[in-house]
Amino acid sequence: MTEETAMPNEKRMVTETGVDARIAEIVEPIIQSLDMRLVRVRSSGQNGLTVQIMAERNDGTMSVEDCEAVSRAISPVLDVEDPVEKAYHLEISSPGIDRPLVRKSDFVRWEGHLARCDASVLINGRKRFRGYIRDVTDTGFSVERDQPAYGEDNVAVIPFSALAEAKLVLTDELVRESLRADKAAKAAAAANENNAGATPEDSGNDDNA
């Protein structure tokens, strides 16, 4: 896994349809204005109707305070635009450790980890794959299957243009990597805050020297 931070305005390859697509169209610019990125919008029948909006900072972190900030920013706009015909519960969340992969940078960042991927067309005679993300390029990636059946190809090449859905599989290695990356991101954010709050006296300059 690389430590590169994703581009703020990088477009998602996996997007929504129907009402969820309309909600995403409304909230994505607002989330971007908060220096965050939309990951996914998904409606479900939970609690009558729940609209879940996943978001994250460009470094992959997402705190409770960040979720609250997103909720405060988008709730009034959704009330005005009213894209959902019935009452619903709005849920703002982070992508989680076993996160959806929706941008090319997600595949670059989590290359080598186990994922489940669905294709929109048949690839090697199937549409569903589970395996390790390998060989990410500008146009696609490979899946090295962790449990190949006898006689089946061990590796499948999936073009990004044929990707319908992808999600990391929770493993001990993924948890360790996620915790390490989260710790590093928080340390970098704290260092930036300290540098921003530093005064000329803090820098060690001495006019009397």
pLDDT tens for the chain, residues 1 to 209 = 444 445 667 999 999 999 999 999 999 999 999 999 999 999 999 888 999 999 999 888 999 999 999 999 999 999 999 999 999 999 999 999 999 999 999 999 999 999 999 999 999 889 999 999 999 999 999 999 998 777 778 999 999 999 999 999 999 999 999 889 888 888 887 887 788 776 555 545 555 44
The segment(s) of the chain belonging to CATH 3.30.300.70 are 18-93
Topology of domain 104-168 in CATH is SH3 type barrels. (2.30.30)
Q: What is the dihedral of CA 64, 66, 72, 78, to 10 degrees?
A: -100
Task: Specify the 3-state DSSP secondary structure of 13.
Answer: coil
CATH 2.30.30 placement within the chain:
104-168
Query: CA angle at residue 22 from 31 to 138, to 5 degrees?
Result: 65
The vertex-13 CA angle with 8 and 19, nearest 5°, equals 100
Amino acid at 182: D
- By the 8 A CB rule, do 159 and 141 touch? no
The model's pTM is 0.84
Fold of 18-93: GMP Synthetase; Chain A, domain 3 (3.30.300)
